[in-house]
Structure 1
Amino acid sequence: MRTRRTRSVLVAASAALLLSGGAAMPAVAQPRPQPAAPAPSAAYGLTALTDLFAERLLIADKVAAAKYGTDRPIDDPAREQRILDDVAARAVGLGLDPAAVVAVFGDQIEANKVVQRGLYARWDARPGERPTERPDLDKEIRPALDRITTQVLDTLVATEDVRSSPSCELRLYGAAAWSAYGHELDVLHLKGMERALPSACGRANGQAIPRT
């Protein structure tokens, strides 16, 4: 099955990071700058999008650090719905399909929660790795997420032709592997990256990539 084969690109990226020592991550990871000159054979035309996905995943570490040990839950349905309603409205003005955009951002929200839950489990099991500082969720983290939201919307517009092409799935996973390498994602964040991808090619063949 082609989906399974293309997912192996992320597995290969994970193996390369493990061999190079990239699996170890600090208690709160920091977004990495993207590679200065992406290799055309690896970029596949969608690295601008997957780089933003990776950056958002790394911000999930700060979200988790802000919430861990407080009464603020990982799941926040009311806020999530406000985000989805906002991007749907903005999609119309950008000439994008609102339903497709909502699906992409829904995947980003769920990917973020994959990382948060993984970090909670890690910190519960290893108290010495718990964050020592609590970032400000409202003043520091959410403005960064809002910035990425705008950039993702603009990049969805810029990549619409590629994302609607029959080769989108292959290009997407190739770009995701390159972004994972450039941002030094560990295994947990690679799982988040895989969860972030399914709807990005939703218009290529009338359906999204199956979720795992």
Structure 2
Amino acid sequence: MRPAISMQGTRFRHSILLRFSEIVYQKILTPIEKLIQRFSFNEILYTLTRLKKEISNQSRVLSIDMAPHRLKLPLRAALAAFVAFAAFGAQAAHAGDAKHLLRPLVESSARRLAIGDQVALSKWDSGTSVEDPARESVVIANAVTEGQRSNLAADDVTRFFKAQIEANKLVQYELLARWRRAGYAPPHTPVDLKGTIRPELDRLQTEMIAELAAADAVFDSKECAKDVARAVGHYAFEHQFDPADLPVLALDRAMAGFCRVY
């Protein structure tokens, strides 16, 4: 009788292991593969929540007392390893997702800051102040109106473009101080602030509103500030800037208004 019992126990163990393999493939590996392919952080979080519930259910079902051998499958330990893998995949996907979403916004912010050079030259020629509260209010009001058409909250748009304005003023203050110490500004043709520069800023603002809306999933992320800092760092590396260079310092300031908590 013992060989028959042994064969029966072997078949039973084999069937349980097959079932376990199916669960691992269907409930864990396949969803992870799809998540990585689609690269959507929100979908990853949603699916991981479902996986946690499924793991809890399957652990109760398959942690079977295989009498008379008292052999139990260590499902919780095995599934925990897969959950750790899934969490790692989620973090990697989030980092890639945030980088992809923030990159256009960082590049547009850099372009906006580059226009600050021309604004500074205009202020040098005219002798007018860097501070222009009336113009700043118009810029922010227009941005909020545009943002509403893209379903962006007024607070998010206001915070972001206030930071953009402050960063642009940082560039202007630094350049003007540099030229005053030297006693002259770089050779340049007259800058038409109202006819050329402001319309260019307005066109760029429309692009940035669309990019801000596309990246709104990152607003509330716990990693938002780190993601923004990394995105600026990546831009600096690609364009061979030193982190202490004015363009990078100003870009950090400009993007500091992106996150709801920075």
> Structure 1 stretch 176-185 or stretch 57-66: which is displaced more?
176-185
Runs of 5+ unmatched residues, structure 2: 1-94
User: Aligned pair in 2 of structure 1 residues 182, 65: CA closer, same or farther (>3 Å)?
Assistant: farther
Which string of whole-angstrom CA distances, capped at 9 and with x for unpartnered residues, describes residues 25-52 of structure 1? xxxxxxxxxxxxxxx96x8221111111
State how 1:1-212 maps to structure 2 within 5 Å.
44-45=99-100, 46-183=102-239, 185=241, 187-202=245-260, 207=261, 209=262
* CA RMSD, 1 decimal: 2.1
Structure with bigger helix share is 2
Superposition TM-score, scaled by structure 1 size: 0.71
User: Distance between the aligned counterparts of 2:150 and 2:185, measured in 1?
Assistant: 43
Please give the alpha-carbon distance, in whole angstroms, between the structure 2 residues aligned to 1:128 and 1:69.
11
d(CA) in 1 for partners of 2:111 and 2:190? 19
- Partner amino acid for 1:86? N
1:183-212: per-residue Cα shift (whole Å, max 9, x none)? 55561222211211222011xxxx3x1xxx
Distance 1:183 1:146 in 2: 25
Aligned partner of 2:21 in structure 1 is none
Q: Which ranges of 4 or more aligned residues in structure 1 deviate by more than 4 Å?
A: 183-186
TM-score by length of 2: 0.58
- Structure 1's unaligned 5+ residue stretches are 1-39
* 1:124 shift after superposition: 0.6
**Displacement of 1:123:** 0.5
> In the superposition, relative to structure 1, how do residues 181 and 147 fare at CA in structure 2: closer, same or farther (>3 Å)?
farther
Contact 2:163 2:254 in 1 (8 A): yes
Larger RCO, structures 1/2 (Cα 8 Å, 6+ apart): 1
Contact 2:232 2:248 in 1 (8 A): no
Q: Quick one: percent identity of the two aligned structures?
A: 33
- Segment of structure 1 superposing worse, 97-106 or 185-194: 185-194
